[in-house]
Chains A and B, each alone.
Chain A
Amino acid sequence: STSSMLSKDKDKSAASKDSTPEGAAKSQEDGAGAPKQQLLDIIGSMKVEVSYRKKLQQLKGSENKKQAMNKLEGPDSEGSVPQGITEDAQRGKSLNPELVKAASAVASSLPHNKKQTESELLAQLRKHEETTDKQKKGETVNIRNVISEMTVKRQSPAQWGARISSRISLQLDEDGQRIRPERSSAKSMDSRSLKVGKRLNIFTKASTEPEHALKTVSSPTIWDLEFAKELAAVTAQPPRNGFEEMIQWTKEGILWEFPIDNEVGMEDDAEFHEHIFLEKHLEGFPKQGPIRHFMELVICGLSKNPYLSVKQKVEHIEWFQKYFEEKKELLQEI
């Protein structure tokens, strides 16, 4: 509320400033204070909050009392325009006497100590006058110093802006480097060429990869493996939520990969004819006799079996071949 009140006061003083020149012009024309009176009536009717007034009084109480006493004698006498001017001139500040009159009217509208409020309003008016005088004289040294200081550290605000924006957006390149876009943007903002700086290698395949691949095969030492295991153990954080847990399980093989692939782990490179036409494996057996008959039945059964791979079927037949070769002596006795 204090800030709003401050602005109100300034507005009042500004309004009084703006109004009083108009009023002054009109008074010069008419010679009668009709609009001025209206203004004064308006100001008199305006009401102000009490709390702010109390604070101001506490701040400026004792200082302005003496000044107020001297000031009041001036505006009270309406005809004493030159007196007011001379009194102001004594302090080196020029205050419009009509402003002073407006201040007195405002003070009269307020419930508290009128002299103190008048003095405070006049003090604010004086401050305004001082600032305008300074600007007129051209005392802009401080601002110039500030600007000159800013020119020395030109890049920092740009960098800060880039860093803040990068923090908010958290963009990671495909190469996983976060700092680089800051540098590149800062450089482009400094109006240098875009080709200056390191290459990001986003679109062009890095030509150094095959060279690295050739070199790696030779030496994975035991210490390297140990170090790698330690790193993996340290960096493997426990899962933060159910999704990460499921990801871990999938990596370990506990959880299947979705959508479920029925042929996971089944590498059936063989064509159907290799499964069904297995007679070519029967070359080691005699062409006549019960064994052949038996083996043909075995082959018939294997050709109808979808669960075994070709390799397993071939092993099956080979086992029988071995078995019957071992039993050849027995068979010849029969």
Chain B
Amino acid sequence: MAAAALCWALRAARQVLPSSCPRQARSYYVDWRMLRDVKRRKMAYEHADERLRINAIRKNSILPKELQEVADKEIAALPRDSCPVRIRNRCVLTSRPRGVKRRWRLSRIVFRHFADHAQMSGVQRAMW
């Protein structure tokens, strides 16, 4: 009985625990701006549904205008970081706000670095 309980616990532990081999685990973001961006993304995710519904009421020609004005006030009352517009697609490795390619989430400099070292699968120098 105890052995069976142990076995079950073992299985659960195996699935949860990562391997004992040392892996590179980054515990810090590149800089504070990246951290703030991460927070904004989280908040936007939490309030996305509410925002969608309130906007559906606002951008409406059927409902009375008073209702829509109330909805405007409500959406303005939501935390500022909950809107998706404040999210900036920064480079994942260098936190560079400009020159970021969306497909790879990397800035142009980092992308070029990896592509030249043949670490980007399927990326080749253009020549035509």
Contact = CB atoms under 8 A, between A and B. Distances in A.
Given A319-B53, A320-B53, A331-B67, A229 B5 contact: no
Contacts of A234: 20
Interface in B6-51: 6, 8-10, 12-15, 17-21, 49
A141 interface: no
A225 interface: yes
A327 B64 contact: no
* Secondary structure class of chain A's binding surface, majority of residues: helix
Contacts of A136: none
A252 B15 CA distance: 7
Interface in A275-334: 290-291, 293-294, 297-298, 316, 319-320, 323, 327, 330-331, 333-334
A232 B13 contact: yes
A175 to B, nearest CB: 15
Contacts of A219: 1-2, 5
Contacts of A233: 17, 20
Interface string A225-259: 10111011110111100000000100110000000
Interface residues of B, number: 28
B62 interface: yes
Nearest to A228: B9
B76 interface: no
Interface in A206-226: 212-213, 215-216, 219-220, 224-225
A232 B67 contact: no
B60 interface: yes
The 8 closest A-B pairs by CB, nearest first: A238-B21, A228-B9, A215-B1, A232-B13, A216-B4, A228-B10, A229-B13, A228-B13
17 contacts: A216-B1, A220-B9, A224-B6, A224-B9, A225-B13, A228-B6, A228-B10, A229-B9, A231-B13, A236-B14, A238-B20, A251-B14, A291-B63, A319-B49, A319-B53, A330-B67, A333-B66
Interface of A: 212-213, 215-216, 219-220, 224-225, 227-229, 231-234, 236-239, 248, 251-252, 290-291, 293-294, 297-298, 316, 319-320, 323, 327, 330-331, 333-334
